[in-house]
Structure 1
Amino acid sequence: MMLISIDDVRIHARRNLPAWFFDYVEGGAYSETTLRRNRAGFDRYAFLPRVLQSASRPDLSVQIMGMKWAMPVMPGPVGFCGLVHAGGEVLTARVASACGVPMGLSTFSIAPMEDVARATDPARIMLQLYVLKNRDIMRDLLVRARACGIGTLVLTVDTTVTPMRERDARNGFRGAGGLSLRQLVQMAGKPRWFARIMRHGQPQIGNIIRYNMGRTLFEQAANIGREMDPDLSWTDLAWLRDNWQGKLVVKGILHPDDAVQCAQAGVDGIVVSNHGGRQMDGALSTIEALPAIAAAVRARMTILLDGGVRYGTDVVKALALGAHGVMIGRPYVYGLAANGEQGVVDVLDYFADGIRSSLTLLGISTVNALHDQSARYMIQS
């Protein structure tokens, strides 16, 4: 499959997945205003390329939190990747390793963290966690992560409640009652997908099977959702910092004051994120939130960004505005759904090519020069 754009691979993904599950991947909260703003926000910024700069072979590599990344893009944590394609989390880990970048692993992964850690260098896994009301489960998750050799935790802080996601509600996804007749019919219409997913039995949320949160994936998802602490506070972040000796990243920051508090709490990095438009509808896009956050904390901590990233030019804009790196979510999930492991390779290669050509056309020879020289070639349009 020749990957011309992320929209093309999205079309292939839609053909391969049951409609209710594609809607889960694709959808956002309420009116999906934030979802749309994430994409539109990149159009607010424009390039002023410089010519005759001899930049035909730009260096895409960066050092982020003590790790070398071959390029400033990584697959971020996305729930249920093992439903997108059988073994989805393990396949993504292998691709990320081959491409020289870390990978994010969701609490809601089908493969347990132990299986994913065996498939790659675990020090380059960023394990995403929620603060749960049951601290015994939290402690056990931390013990398991340490035992696996996982190097970084990513604490998601923007999910204290789950808002209405209209597509999921209409499709009955993540209800504790199991699959509806409509969902079963849609699954039957995707026999190859269904056969791959069911090859090793009924999928479950691998990271939480041992905690007796239900027998089915739907029960487990509903129960862990109820376990998320709605009273999450800075005290909880301090508790996690005290109990985790590895790198700690906080995901879900949009306000510069929150970024400053994260720095003061001893956090190693933040992800400027609105959860891909799936949480606070009507929120600021991440690219619009980035400049103020970068001005406040860039010199003190690592800044990653996600949300709406579809082109190499988007990555370049994010780095110019102050991010050290970018997480992608839906794009690599589309690749996984469209063509399995090779689909993820194609998506990461697509971003690398886009970043490389953008740097050459801007007249910049290294990714590290992007932010320092941004005044030369970036304007707010």
Structure 2
Amino acid sequence: MAFSHFLSLDDFETAARRRLPRAVFGFVAGGAEAEHSLRDNRAAFARVGFVPRGLRDVSRRSADVALWGRSHPLPVGIAPMGIAGMCRHEADLALAQAAHAAGLPFILSGSSNVPLERIQQLAPGTWYQGYFPGDTARMERILQRLQAARTEVLVVTIDTCVAGNRENNARRGFTVPFALNPSLMLDGLLHPRWLLGVFARTLYRGGVPRWCNLYEEIGCRITEEPAHGFRTGRDLLSWEHIAWLRARWPGRLLLKGVMHPADAAEAVRLQLDGVIVSNHGGRQLDGSLSTLQALPEIVAAVPEGFPVMVDGGFRRGADVLKAVAFGARMVFVGRPLMYAAAVGGQAGVRHAIGLLHGEIDRNLALLGCARLDELTRDRLRAIPGI
């Protein structure tokens, strides 16, 4: 498939909207309740403007960023996204391999459909996002599985103690666990490329997809409720469990879903390795701050050099650079790269990453910066009245 006519990440969203059944696209694109936070994640970027400098030598530009002693060519990673197999057969693997080839981090969702052991074999260095119950016995078994697979980075999501109220899914008949109904069946029939390329291909290759990485073993089909319950025990998870994890997990340990400076400060106190500022893409608490709005306070709450990362609403290289100027070490992009995988598989994701790379490089030059560390908060201004 040629991608020359895909000029921005938004072009992949447009193509994915046509290719995917309405319910599947809505599952990916939607947020919680009235979707205020979903929209505000995007709107926040328009409330901040750049202040470029001229007559700077930018002939030798680099967007390299160092994280834990490892260099990455961009301050960009791929965010975790659950049930990616609904969008493309083995989409998790396509995302992981594209990120690995580009030298960027990819976070495998605990709600993914390709076993993490296979992902680590074909894309070593993949991070793992855990939806942990507040049960140390079960957590211990999950850690053993992760260590056996040589997982190096564990990301604990802290904003899913209960399920968000995703009315958009209910209106389209999309449920978790997944259940076929006449509306969804008609939806699939009206999208033959998805029906043959994803639904039929997945059933032919391996049967109904499974919850492969939620717990210590490969779980049941996505049409069934897991034996332990899909979210059972998550409302028990506390800082005591994070301290327990820190004492037992030998690799890097991060928290995802941090929106309050005090939580970031507590992560530092417990000697974690970083935090990801996130409101779950607007899919949990509707009405929460945008992540760009929350980012500066969290950067200010941690020691200099402590890795603060962010996700939520990023679509352009300019968006990434605004977060970098506010102090983010790494920006994770989710939905746009899922759309790229849905449309073009691994090649589509590679092209999307290339678009971001080009935008970041071009905008660095136009800002008068040869390196990311030259892009500081004084290059940003709030735009009143927006």
The answer to whether TM tops 0.5 is: yes
**Shift, 1:42, TM fit:** 1.0
Q: Tell me the distance in 1 between the aligned counterparts of 2:117 and 2:218.
A: 18
Q: CA RMSD in A?
A: 1.8
Q: Which moved more, 1:220-229 or 1:38-47?
A: 220-229
Letter of the 1:312 partner, please give it: G
- Relative distance call for 1:54 and 1:210 in structure 2 (3 A) is closer
* Contact persistence 1:172–1:180 (CA under 8 A): yes
* Contact persistence 1:174–1:222 (CA under 8 A): no
Structure-2 residue corresponding to 1:81: 84
Q: Tell me the distance in 2 between the aligned counterparts of 1:176 and 1:32.
A: 22
Higher helix share: 1
Letter of the 1:119 partner, please give it: L
2:234 is paired with a residue whose SS is coil
Structure-2 residue corresponding to 1:202: 208
Q: Which moved more, 1:102-111 or 1:205-214?
A: 205-214
The aligned runs of 1:1-381 (5 Å cut-off) are 1=3, 2-121=5-124, 124-176=125-177, 178-190=179-191, 191-192=195-196, 193-200=198-205, 201-208=207-214, 211=217, 214=220, 216-220=221-225, 224-299=229-304, 301-371=306-376, 374-375=377-378, 377-381=379-383
* Unmatched segments (≥5 aa) in structure 1: none
Q: Tell me the distance in 2 between the aligned counterparts of 1:209 and 1:284.
A: 31
- Relative distance call for 1:96 and 1:231 in structure 2 (3 A) is same
Q: Tell me the distance in 1 between the aligned counterparts of 2:227 and 2:338.
A: 22
1:271 is paired with a residue whose SS is strand
Q: Which moved more, 1:192-201 or 1:256-265?
A: 192-201
TM-score (norm 1): 0.94
How many residues are paired up? 375
Q: Tell me the distance in 2 between the aligned counterparts of 1:153 and 1:257.
A: 21
1:90 is paired with a residue whose SS is helix
1:203 is paired with a residue whose SS is coil
Q: Tell me the distance in 2 between the aligned counterparts of 1:136 and 1:116.
A: 25
**Shift, 1:299, TM fit:** 1.1
1:333 is paired with a residue whose SS is helix
Q: Which moved more, 1:33-42 or 1:127-136?
A: 127-136
* Contact persistence 2:49–2:380 (CA under 8 A): yes
**Shift, 1:135, TM fit:** 3.7
* Contact persistence 1:45–1:380 (CA under 8 A): yes
TM-score (norm 2): 0.92
Q: Tell me the distance in 1 between the aligned counterparts of 2:250 and 2:209.
A: 32
1:335 is paired with a residue whose SS is helix
Letter of the 1:307 partner, please give it: G
